[in-house]
A and B are shown apart, each in its own frame.
Chain A
Amino acid sequence: MKMNDIDLEKYKSAWKEEKSFNKETLTDSEIKNYLLKRSKGLTDSFKAGLILDNILKIILGASFVVLIFLFPGKFDILVLCVIAILLLFYLLWLNITTYRKIPRQEEYSGDMQNFLKSRIEFYRTKYLKTVYVIALSNPFVFLGGMLYYFYFKYGMIRPLQVEDIIVFSIFCIAGFALGAFIQVRQFNYQVNQLEECLKELQENGIDELAIRRHKKQKRTIMIIFMIALLTGLLLLGVLFTL
């Protein structure tokens, strides 16, 4: 053990005397250029994703308003569009509340353990829910696109068969599931890395109870979103077959 210490002291001295660390110096303008660039961090990418999704949801909401006027006197379309608009605004509101809860910059100035804990907590709760909220835009894009297609192609909503409803439902679910799958896999990868860091750092190991609680929370969020999606599709099917 003593031998190990002596070896490392030699490297420590070499580290202190290393000149190359001081050789690379950046000028004011080079540092200023860095300040103008966009952060590639997960939080900033998440913020950008939320803003883009909010814009998409507003456009989708507006397109459903237009659809009400394109199909005047069609009660089923009116009901469908009003439900879609209300749902989109609810999802938009969820996005806005999440945006407000994004961890603040002060956390970076805090100690490593607290920084990791707060990031993990945020990703496990708010971030995961938002992944599903963002993925829910896909079925609305498909639904809106389908209605516009019918309008421009036939000038009316073509009567749908049960098979058509099944195919459209599969497209809606696939759009949601695919969007969510990619995001959730990346999310798991990132969170596992942070948890790994916290585990290395903590004196008594990571709180197993907290992990179990988070896993249960994750399952619950996914089940709620799947139920909401299936209910929506069922409603859609009932409206079109009436």
Chain B
Amino acid sequence: MTRYGSNPTHVGTADIGCPAERSSAAVSRRGRFGFVLVLAILSILLATSCSRKTESAPLPKPTAFGAAIVESSGGKQTAQTGSLLPQPVVVQVNDAQGTAVAGALVEFSAAPGVAFDPPNGLTDSSGQVTTNVSLGGMAGRYAIVASTTDKSHKRVELKIEELALGYQQTLGRHLNDQYCERCHNPESTVERVSNYDNLEVKPHPFTEGDTLNKINDADLTAIISHGGPALNKSALMPAWGNTLSKSDIQALISYIRAISDPPSRNAGPVYTKN
């Protein structure tokens, strides 16, 4: 959407049409003056609207330069399209020896639609910059670039991938939290103790792309609705076909496909800065 919105030539076309029609009347001095006036106003408006777009807060001046930029935390998170990632993204700038550098400038950039708060900053005393990230409006993977410059003003970049979930995948995530995760996610939290270790036959974590990408949608649907034995797998996987509706199961599969790592075949493009 932003691609079209940012193109200022669209804005004026309809308006410019009107004065052109007016010229069909006998061209009086006043008419011509008016025409010029309208053109001038339009161009001023256009210029101001353009300049407003490019105007942004000045970058802070770096007091130090690093040699490398690394991710501290916040990569591979999921959020709904357009929303904030649950945790901020934290990156660290190091020098050639691997020690943190304070006062280096880090800038964040990504595909249109992705917003950073703040979009740039100087590293703190531990060499880190923290930013809150809102993903774009399209479901899919987003590549975020954090960049800094080294002493010779060469750009050093770090790519971090995040995942935006559409409606269907959000629904799937909710169903996963309620029905699947307790067994399929080996990680425990205080509120949600994992049952993974208690199972004789281990279930596949849904991020396990190497295995799950080889199972097609029809087979996944069969396992979920009729249980493990439907594909000669463990009966510890119960049949959910009477509990979950067809569209629920589709939503679950779309979620499983979205979080798969490595990505599934139909995962679509990674949104990057053009």
Chains A and B are bound partners = no
Listed in ascending order, the chain A residues whose CB lies under 8 Å from chain B are: none
Listed in ascending order, the chain B residues whose CB lies under 8 Å from chain A are: none
